[in-house]
Amino acid sequence: MEVLQTVEEIRRYVSSLKKSQKTIGFVPTMGFLHDGHASLIDRAKKENDTTIVSIFVNPLQFNNLSDFEKYPKNEEVDRLLLKKLNVDILFSPQTSEIFGSFQDNKIEMKIPSLMRNLCAPTRPGHFEGVLHIVSKLFNYTLPNRAYFGLKDYQQYLIIKELVNNLSFPIEIIGMETIREKNGLAMSSRNSRLSPEDIEDATLIYRSMSMAKDYAKKKSTNINVVKEFIKEILLSSKNIKIDYLEILDPLTLEEKEELSGNILIGIAIFIKDVRLIDNIRFEV
Ligand code: AMP
């Protein structure tokens, strides 16, 4: 595996791949890698001649400075895992390499219809930061395919829309959430939780799964299902709900009736650690 740290290096490498007509699979990450990231990398390896993984903790997408500063890092361990996964290129630039003096002039993109709910109102500026960095990374790596996790479902839809709307010649592939045995969605942020916090965090998936079964078995309405989930989550005093929403999974508009395709999206805080998860199903 080669580790590239500058824009010039990655552009040179990508240009030589293009000359030899090699396809490129790209997996953008913020590091502190786990099996969720590995599942995206495995798929990219299978579908492309060359796989590029980036590790970059993007300051633009953090609306909270302490969340940015406390974001877990261990690039040494990440590199060992990436080597084991036979990744071809790790692109791991410094912040100054990516933003230079342009931070004050950053372009802010918005996709209004997909940014009304879920993480957009509760993390102002987050998706603008994501759209900005992902556009830059796409321009450096010129991938044929890019891989994103459905744990960040809204991000996946927004990036698909970016690519369709602005005609990036890239196929966006979404991959199901990889979970711990106890159901908790794998996340770099889980490393900031104590064993007791982890126990509480498992209530996210448990409450969504129970709500899904409940919704499928009984004819009920959205408010009842929301109350059902709330009660389970708030059975722990350690949990603060950031949002709990039941939406249409294609448009991200609020559902009025509990029928058809359903997305339940949840964000909670355990102390100052923010965790998100979602499930999608049909009633
Ligand atoms: P991150 O490093 O958290 O920015 O995530 C990088 C990519 O990995 C994003 O596309 C995430 O959606 C994806 N990802 C994170 N956690 C998981 C997971 N548990 N299962 C599948 N994909 C994930």
Residue range 62-94, pLDDT digits in tens: 988 999 999 999 999 999 999 999 999 999 999
- Measured CA to CA, the distance from residue 114 to residue 107 in angstroms comes to 18
Closest CA to 280 of 252, 249, 257: 249
* pLDDT above 70: residue 169: yes
* pLDDT above 70: residue 108: yes
pLDDT at 233: 98
Enter the pTM of the model: 0.97
pLDDT at 131: 97
pLDDT at 103: 65
Ligand 1, atom 14: closest residue by C-alpha: 149
Task: Record the tokens describing residue 136, joined without a space.
Answer: 């830059």
Q: How far is the CA of 129 from the centre of ligand 1 (A)?
A: 16
- Give every CB contact of residue 60 below 8 A, 6+ residues apart in sequence: 103, 106, 125, 128, 129, 130, 132, 133
Ligand 1 binding pocket (C-beta < 6 A) is: 29-30, 36-37, 39-40, 148-149, 151-152, 175, 177-178, 185-188
When pLDDT is cut at 50, 70 and 90, the band that residue 16 belongs to is very high
Note the pLDDT tens digit of each residue in 120-139: 999 999 999 999 999 999 99
Average pLDDT for residues 238-258, to the nearest whole number?
97
pLDDT at 217: 87
pLDDT at 218: 80
Q: How far is the CA of 218 from the centre of ligand 1 (A)?
A: 33
* pLDDT above 80: residue 184: yes
The mean-pLDDT minimum among 29-38, 99-108, 185-194 falls in 99-108
Pocket mutation for ligand 1, best pick of 39, 148, 151 (most atoms within 8 Å of C-beta): 151
> Percentage of the chain surpassing pLDDT 90?
94
> Percentage of the chain surpassing pLDDT 70?
99
* pLDDT above 70: residue 42: yes
Nearest-atom index, ligand 1, CA of 176? 21
- List Cα–Cα distances, 236 to 79, 161, 225, 232, 233, in angstroms: 37, 37, 18, 8, 6
Q: How far is the CA of 58 from the centre of ligand 1 (A)?
A: 14
Ligand 1, atom 13: closest residue by C-alpha: 149
When pLDDT is cut at 50, 70 and 90, the band that residue 100 belongs to is confident
When pLDDT is cut at 50, 70 and 90, the band that residue 171 belongs to is very high
Q: How far is the CA of 151 from the centre of ligand 1 (A)?
A: 7
pLDDT at 219: 76
Nearest-atom index, ligand 1, CA of 30? 2
Phi, psi of 40 (to 5 degrees): -70, -40
* pLDDT above 80: residue 164: yes
Contact of 172 with 156, CB cutoff 8 Å? yes
pLDDT at 114: 98
Contact of 210 with 232, CB cutoff 8 Å? yes
- Give every CB contact of residue 115 below 8 A, 6+ residues apart in sequence: 127, 158
At 167, is the secondary structure helix, strand, or coil?
A: coil
When pLDDT is cut at 50, 70 and 90, the band that residue 105 belongs to is confident
Mean pLDDT score across all residues of the chain: 96
Which residues are known catalytic residues?
37
